[in-house]
Amino acid sequence: MHVILVEPAFPTNQREFVRGLKSVGATVSAIGERPQEYLDDELKSWLTFYEQVPSVCDHESMYKAVRRLQGKGWVDRLEATVEAHMRCAAEIREMCKIPGTSVETTARCRDKPLMKEVLRQAGVPCARSGGITSAAEVKDFIGEVGYPIILKPRDGAGAADTYKITDEKSYEEVMVESGLAAREIDYAVEEFIEGHEGFFDTITVDGKVRHEFITHYYPNVLHGMRTRWISPQFCVTNRIEAEGYQEVRKLGRRVIEVLGIKTAPTHMEWFTTKKGLVFSEIACRPPGVGAWDLYRAANDLDLYAEWARAICGLEPGGFPSRRFATGMVALRPDQDGTIVGHEGKDALLRDLGDFIIDAHFPNPGTPTQPVGAGYKANAWVQLRHADYDDLLKMLTAVGEGVQTRAR
């Protein structure tokens, strides 16, 4: 089995997908934006061929690179695992007649208004939504559904460039900040859903879920990514077989079926509300910010190798043990500037060191990253415990007891 992976070196966990493929006996080639000599020796040793391109989102250079690799031998799969790379990879895959996720399915998983329209027609509960290009169209949508609403990129990932509009004042501010006050831009709008948020992730083979995981956000992403004093968490449950999760699992399978996802990882976000379970969005890729590393630590399972087995048409090497719940807490600097230290770090290592999977504390002198830059933008800690409730208490204790200082 010869697999081409798009961009093997950035972000840093991309190398794990290369390793996973190599570990199951695949021949691995890659297309990336860096010169080959930039890659470390271990990563280079896993690759049979490497092609450098100016951008892995540039169709012409990607097409030529794939054709060169096809000239060196049969290619069975072309895989991308980063949201921004998905559409180009799907289109090149189709042009070069390589099996994998179709352009149609990729489009449905990237274009949020299209995604929700397809799912609504199939009876999947979704927020009311639509595509807009102007401030006037946003105002029309508000007239239909009322405040609050969410404005986000049609094909964005996470909470990047996402705005909550709650009243006339915030509408005016967001129109300026988003650029819609000055020009037409493609955006998605949807009604704001009030409820608890989580995500359902799978490795799916031939449309059937092989491996599945459920994770909770504390608090919801948009609030967590906009509020400096919050140390946001997400936590992987090891109680997925409990009765209360059956509806989420059923919803995830229905979404995968309707969107025509065959063999691929998936990342689906959902809300539980007073009116019941509501679908948020799905991506035909792995989750970000190290979620797979948490799944691996919780379940005694090399998920990257399991993904590779799925891609290569192999039987699973194992199944999740559910021995542990795992989670991550992000630690924000108290202000923008330069990091000077981490109060409470020594006590954390002393009291919870046995439960720490991994941690990152930027050295003094490191420039801070913005609050909205993500869960791993500054300091963070990953923990695991056999009991989910005890893990939540530990994550909260870290968030309250450790403070990253900046000046």
- Tell me the C-alpha distance between 210 and 204, whole Å: 5
Residue by residue, DSSP assigns 206-230 as: TTEEEEEEEEEEES-HHHHTT-TT-
Give the model confidence (pLDDT) of 324-358 as tens digits: 999 999 999 999 999 999 999 999 999 999 999 99
Tell me the residue type at 387: D
Report the topology of domain 2-100. Rossmann fold (3.40.50)
Query: Burial of 373 by CB count in 10 Å (0-12 exposed, 13-18 middle, 19+ buried)?
Result: middle
* Interhelix angle 303-311/14-23, nearest 10 degrees: 60
- Tell me the C-alpha distance between 351 and 391, whole Å: 14
CATH 3.30.470.20 maps onto the chain at 196-406
pLDDT of residue 156: 64
- Round to the nearest angstrom and report the end-to-end CA distance of the chain: 53
- Tell me the C-alpha distance between 16 and 80, whole Å: 13
CATH 3.40.50.20 maps onto the chain at 2-100
Nearest to 142 by CA among 171, 114, 115: 171
Give the model confidence (pLDDT) of 41-67 as tens digits: 999 999 999 999 999 999 999 999 999
Query: Strands 196-205 and 208-218: what pairing?
Result: antiparallel
Give the model confidence (pLDDT) of 355-385 as tens digits: 999 999 999 999 999 988 989 999 999 999 9
Instruction: Give this prediction's pTM.
Output: 0.92
Average pLDDT across the chain, whole number: 95
Give the model confidence (pLDDT) of 71-90 as tens digits: 999 999 999 999 999 999 99
Pick the CATH number of 128-191 from 3.40.50.12780, 3.30.1490.20, 3.30.200.20, 3.40.50.10680: 3.30.1490.20
Give the model confidence (pLDDT) of 88-116 as tens digits: 999 999 999 999 999 999 999 988 889 99
Task: Taking residues 166-179, report their average pLDDT.
Answer: 94
- Is the model's pLDDT at 275 over the cut of 90? no
Write the CATH number of the domain with boundaries 196-406: 3.30.470.20
